[in-house]
Amino acid sequence: MNSANDQMLEMFLFEMTSLLEQLDDILLTSEKNQSLTEDNVGEIFRIMHTIKGSSAMMDFNVISTVTHRLEDTFFYIRDNGIQSELFTELFDLMLDATDFLKSQLEAIQGGNPLTEGNDELVDRAVNFLAVLNGSAQAGAPGASPAAPAPPVTPAAPEPVAEGGCAYRIEVLFEEDCGMENLRAFMLVTTLKQQCSIVSMDPPDIESNPDSASQIMINGFTLVVTSELSLEKVQAIAEGTMHVKHVTTTPLDAVPQTGDGSSSSDISGEQYEVQVRFDDESGMENLRAFMLINSLRSNCRIISYIPSDIEGNPASASVIVEQGFQITLETPMPQADLQRVLETAMYVKSALISPLTKAAPDARKPAPQAAAAAVGPGAPQPAPAAAAPLAKAPAAAKTPADQAGKPIKQNLINVSLSKLDELMDLMGELVITESMVTRSPDLRDIPKLDNFYKAARQLQKLTDELQDMVMSIRMIPVAGTFQKMQRIVRDMCRALGKEADLVTMGEETDIDKTIIDGIADPIMHLVRNAMDHGVESPEEREAAGKPRKATVTLCAQNTGGEILITVSDDGKGLDAEKLLAKGKLNGILTKPAGEYTEKEAFMLLMMPGFSTKDQVTEFSGRGVGMDVVKKNIEKIGGTVHIESKKGYGMSVFLKIPLTLAIVDGMDISVGGGIYTLQITAINESFKATQDQVIIDTSGNEMIMIRGDVYPIIRLHRLYGVPDAITDIEEGILIWVQSGERSICLFVDQLIGEQQIVVKPLPKYLNKYDIKPCGISGCTILGDGNISLILDVGSIIENVMEKR
Amino acid sequence: MAEAAREAVATQAQDYVEDTIHGKFLVFYLDKQEFAIPIEYAVDIINVQPITKVPNCPDFVSGITNLRGKVIPIVDIRIRFGKPPQEHNDRTCIIMIEEKDFTVGLIVDSVSEVITLDDDDIAPPPNLHAGVEARFIQGVGKAENGIKLILDCHAVLDDDMPGADEEKEFYSNK
């Protein structure tokens, strides 16, 4: 039971996250264009509605209350539009709301209790709706701000001029809402503003309390005439509180058919659809709910069975056993409908059978208007439908195939821990393979042609497998980049600057673990660019630049590495200012005059260095750049800065494609074996005694092509006994990390090998092993362990000591 | 119904396992002295295999070794107890013990037997001398063939003990 719950929660979180991302995206683009298309309003409304539904199902009431209010707001906007003056307020409200929702999701993820309630946000939404109401119907008698959910505009009910279409509206209320007659009355009041009521059944809702039970059993039926389109009438009815289900059907027999445009809005063929979900999908009721929601955009849902999917988790098992049955009406051709259904997530199969126009009444679920001449029909598909049912799949398959493969259906969600495990296993396999093919036992066997042939084949396959496993873990950086749009927007408003964020290469794939590792650094860099780099519009104009600055985020795959660039066209770096500041902070290690421009830029990444004089909300605490550098180095990457004063600056992040498997060079010192990342090695060479320079404090150095580099004896650094101490017998390896290089003195090179990086055991964490230059370990082909050297921290370690 | 029944069976089985290992101790030698550890800690006993030394660790951490693809840290219990180091021979063993969420190997002179001790046979450790060794002792077991010192595995592996700070300082100064 517990695990089923967990699974549900996981699914909930996953769906929430993607919906919120989608929402953010819509909001930001809409804000940028300063327009809100009907599609977008509809989409936001749908997202809010879905979140409300699923969070209520999961018992996250805070989330559902907030989204409910927002849903109301958008419901209103959808019907009545919104003045562009109100955009700013609306977007602020919505973005704050998404922030709040995200914080709640994080709380759920972290297992923390949710916020008790967010009255502030709810009040804002309600007030905003009131403002909307007020401005839309200026002069209407005081729109009360307390007016809750539905757009109950308390304008005087003026009957719509005769004309328009007639509709029959059948309404079912939620089972336990109580006082059905009162609810029905409220619905009537709401409708009266837009429609004129022709008749109601039961007619005496106001005076007769018994009508409540009648409505409970039979539903509430209304005949109205209105100029509004069918959807709008339907939407008004659906927007009323406690309404569970609304069926609106146009009545043809209206004498004053107006322009006749409305009734044909959504009409067309009626179909009955039998949907089966994937066996393992779980939470079938939620899936069904989401399916219904997505269908609403282009179909009119007449009914579905089981009908209580939203409120009753037990309906999931009913769906598993009997499938989910929808009766709907859509102008789409059947093939399109089939495709829409089949591309919906987790849908295994969908059987569509066309209904004749007359049929739906017979098929409607039991609680229907008593006025309906046909008695309540069985909810199961009538046997008469069997023939078209059988035909449907065959007919539907072909167009689906022609229309190209459905995208969503081919995706599966896998937990990251499983992928990590797969990666570990892959690593073991690579090690074991080299254990077999390089086994010392093989040396004694003279003829092994077939063995080596098979071994080569095996090697090829494991290589391919490894590439495949790695590619599974790759995801595009687009998600990370998208979040930056929001940051740029927020900062523009807070700092009074104008800037555009241009992203390039969002489709570049990077290992999931690395993506997680670069999100924060990129955010820091974008903030820095906005805060320190980009000038105010006035300054920019004075400098002859366009008012609007451009911040560019670019990712590209350069073979073994990913290059991520964050650049701006702001004021750039001033090397002299940097040096002056560095002097003030006392972090210069040599006279300021000796610093090259490049070295001066590197000062930015020293801990505690900040060029900005005052601390702002966003940056300036001087923790930014050194944290960026640390985080990037943690995932094996490097940072470097380029800038031209007055023309902006660029930060380049070089990041490895993956963390787990790297090309290494095995070296030996004393009895022990160490591994260096190939990428860190510049070259290796033998040195003679007279090439070595020794300074006054006994430090050894060597000159390579005109530059002097310190020599670090690994055996001395790690206190290894029995190592070669004669500089002419061992070998020097010139290694580099970022801008700094040293030469390591080791006994000998053993060979190049692909290694699987493993962390050191947790038990050793307390002994500060990483700072002394060992970042992890790996298991060698012979089963021994080699320690992986991290050139960056060796250099840091040595520099500290000097 | 069925679930409840299955759960009941599972609990019973677990109780059974706990019963069978409760009060059992793995006995090993260090010099002439016999030590015992509760058997639920010991997950494996292996012969000494190549150990890779790790820099910056205290002396009693011999290094790391590869146990079937897992990297396991090794603690030399002789040095941990302040005894002089000894050459490994064919009787030297590594006992893999599992503490909290990590596994650590302990190098011991040799493993002798598994014994059962009633709770009544275990006396609290004497509080007289607070030597290095004494703070690792959780109790004194009185078996038929002699006295066994029962190790507190937690204390052996955990550094956060009185006196541990000086020890750490000592090692980092070295």
Confirm or reject contact between B61 and chain A (CB < 8 A): yes
Contact B100, B85 (CB under 8 A): no
- pLDDT, position A235: 73
Find the helix or strand (DSSP H, E) in which A400 lies. helix A386-402
> How do strand B24-30 and strand B61-67 relate by DSSP bridges?
unpaired
- pLDDT, position B20: 67
pTM: 0.46
Confirm or reject contact between B162 and chain A (CB < 8 A): no
- pLDDT, position A175: 66
Smallest CA–CA distance, residue A212 to chain B, in Å, is 41
Q: How far apart are CA A633 and CA A706, in angstroms?
A: 28
Of the candidates B50, B73, B157, the beta carbon closest to that of A784 is on: B50
Smallest CA–CA distance, residue A683 to chain B, in Å, is 25
Mean pLDDT of the A584-602 span? 78
- Can you name the residues that pair with B107 across neighbouring β-strands? B76, B94
Instruction: With CB atoms and an 8 Å threshold, state whether A764 touches B101.
Output: no
Q: How far apart are CA A656 and CA A677, in angstroms?
A: 11
- pLDDT, position A659: 65
First to last CA, chain B: 64
**Higher local confidence (pLDDT), A579 or A375:** A579
- pLDDT, position A139: 39
Mean pLDDT of the A29-47 span? 81
- pLDDT, position A572: 84
Tens digit of each residue's pLDDT (9 = 90 or more) over A107-154: 887 777 777 777 788 888 888 888 877 755 543 343 344 334 344 334
Confirm or reject contact between A787 and chain B (CB < 8 A): yes
**A232: nearest Cα among A30, A462, A38, A393:** A38
CB contacts, 8 Å: A779 with chain B: 66, 69, 71
Q: A661-801 is classed in which CATH architecture?
A: Beta Barrel (2.40)
**A100: nearest Cα among A51, A135, A138, A146:** A51
- pLDDT, position B72: 92
Q: How far apart are CA A447 and CA A246, in angstroms?
A: 82
Contact A102, A110 (CB under 8 A): no
pLDDT at A210 over 90: no
Best-predicted range by mean pLDDT (A21-30, A39-48, A712-721) = A712-721
Smallest CA–CA distance, residue A759 to chain B, in Å, is 9
Question: What does residue A719 show for φ and ψ, rounded to 5 degrees?
Answer: 60, 45
Mean pLDDT of the A320-334 span? 75
- pLDDT, position A191: 73
Instruction: With CB atoms and an 8 Å threshold, state whether B57 touches A718.
Output: no
Beta carbons within 8 Å of A84's beta carbon, 6+ residues apart: A34, A35
- pLDDT, position A660: 63
Contact A534, A497 (CB under 8 A): yes
**A320: nearest Cα among A293, A272, A352, A288:** A288
- Can you name the residues that pair with B46 across neighbouring β-strands? B94
- pLDDT, position A711: 92
CATH no. of A165-251: 3.30.70.1110
pLDDT at A101 over 80: yes
DSSP characters over A442-493: GGG-S--HHHHHHHHHHHHHHHHHHHHHHHHTEEETHHHHHHHHHHHHHHHH
**Higher local confidence (pLDDT), A138 or A76:** A76
Whether A2-136 and A661-801 share one fold: the answer is: no
CB contacts, 8 Å: B73 with chain A: 761, 763-764
- pLDDT, position A177: 63
| Burial (CB count <10 Å: 0-12, 13-18, 19+), residue A7 | middle
Amino acid at residue number A707: D
Query: In the structure encoding, which two tokens stand for residue B76, read together?
Result: 């030399």
Q: How far apart are CA A122 and CA A102, in angstroms?
A: 16
CB contacts, 8 Å: A772 with chain B: 55-56
What is each CA distance from A414 to A10, A223, A343, A417, A465, in whole angstroms?
Answer: 11, 51, 19, 8, 18
Tokens 């997680």: give the residue. A516
| The CATH fold of domain A269-410 | Alpha-Beta Plaits (3.30.70)
Share of chain B above pLDDT 70, in %: 74
Question: What does residue A267 show for φ and ψ, rounded to 5 degrees?
Answer: -150, -155
Domain at A475-656, CATH from 3.40.50.2300, 3.20.20.30, 3.30.565.10, 3.40.50.720: 3.30.565.10
**Higher local confidence (pLDDT), B32 or A285:** B32
Tokens 């030698």: give the residue. B29
- pLDDT, position B174: 37
- pLDDT, position B151: 86
Lowest-confidence pick of A446-460, A538-552, A762-776: A762-776
SS3 call for B157: helix
First to last CA, chain A: 61
Within 13 Å of residue A677, how many CA atoms lie on the same side as its CB?
23
CB contacts, 8 Å: B67 with chain A: none
Query: In the structure encoding, which two tokens stand for residue A539, read together?
Result: 């300054």
Helices within A606-658 (DSSP H only): 624-634
- In A321-450, which ranges are E strands? 324-330, 347-355
What is each CA distance from A94 to A23, A67, A487, in whole angstroms?
Answer: 9, 10, 15
Contact A262, A228 (CB under 8 A): yes
**Higher local confidence (pLDDT), A295 or B174:** A295
Share of chain A above pLDDT 90, in %: 6
Tens digit of each residue's pLDDT (9 = 90 or more) over A698-733: 888 998 888 899 999 999 888 888 888 888 899 999
Q: What is the average pLDDT score of chain A?
A: 75
- pLDDT, position A255: 40
Question: Closest-CA residue in chain A for B169?
Answer: A767
CB contacts, 8 Å: A767 with chain B: 54, 56-58, 61
- pLDDT, position A674: 93
Best-predicted range by mean pLDDT (A199-203, A356-360, B95-99) = B95-99
- pLDDT, position B2: 55
Mean pLDDT of the A726-748 span? 88
Q: How far apart are CA B4 and CA B19, in angstroms?
A: 22
What is each CA distance from A726 to A687, A703, A713, in whole angstroms?
Answer: 10, 18, 11
| The CATH fold of domain A2-136 | Four Helix Bundle (Hemerythrin (Met), subunit A) (1.20.120)
Helices within A496-621 (DSSP H only): 512-528, 537-542, 575-585, 597-602
Mean pLDDT of the A650-667 span? 81
Domain coordinates in residue numbering, chain A? 2-136, 165-251, 269-410, 416-473, 475-656, 661-801
pLDDT tier at A612 (50, 70, 90 boundaries)?
Answer: low
CB contacts, 8 Å: B167 with chain A: none
Tens digit of each residue's pLDDT (9 = 90 or more) over B37-58: 988 888 889 888 889 989 888 8
- For residue A798, is it left (φ>0), alpha (ψ between -120 and 50) or beta? alpha
Mean pLDDT of the A386-395 span? 40
ipTM of the complex: 0.78
- Can you name the residues that pair with A304 across neighbouring β-strands? A326
pLDDT tier at A378 (50, 70, 90 boundaries)?
Answer: very low
Domain at B23-173, CATH from 3.90.1150.10, 2.60.120.260, 3.90.1300.10, 2.40.50.180: 2.40.50.180
pLDDT tier at A446 (50, 70, 90 boundaries)?
Answer: confident
CATH no. of A416-473: 1.10.287
Q: How far apart are CA A777 and CA A499, in angstroms?
A: 46
Confirm or reject contact between B104 and chain A (CB < 8 A): yes
Contact B49, B70 (CB under 8 A): no
Those of residues 730-769 in A touching chain B at CB distance below 8 A are 758, 760-764, 766-769
- pLDDT, position B5: 60
What is each CA distance from A477 to A13, A420, B30, B165, in whole angstroms?
Answer: 21, 19, 57, 46
DSSP characters over A650-683: EEEEEEES-SSEEEEEEEEETTEEEEEEGGGEEE
pLDDT at A231 over 90: no
| Burial (CB count <10 Å: 0-12, 13-18, 19+), residue A526 | buried
- pLDDT, position B90: 86
Lowest-confidence pick of A405-414, A589-598, A616-625, B45-54: A616-625
- Can you name the residues that pair with A510 across neighbouring β-strands? A475
Question: Closest-CA residue in chain B for A671?
Answer: B52
Exposure string of A155-180, with b = 16+ CB inside 10 Å and e = fewer, is eebeebeeebbbbbbbbbbbeeeeeb
Beta carbons within 8 Å of A627's beta carbon, 6+ residues apart: A520, A521, A524
Best-predicted range by mean pLDDT (A138-152, A173-187, A494-508) = A494-508
Contact A466, A430 (CB under 8 A): yes
Question: What does residue A160 show for φ and ψ, rounded to 5 degrees?
Answer: -65, 140
Mean pLDDT of the A535-554 span? 89
**Higher local confidence (pLDDT), A371 or A475:** A475
Mean pLDDT of the A282-301 span? 71
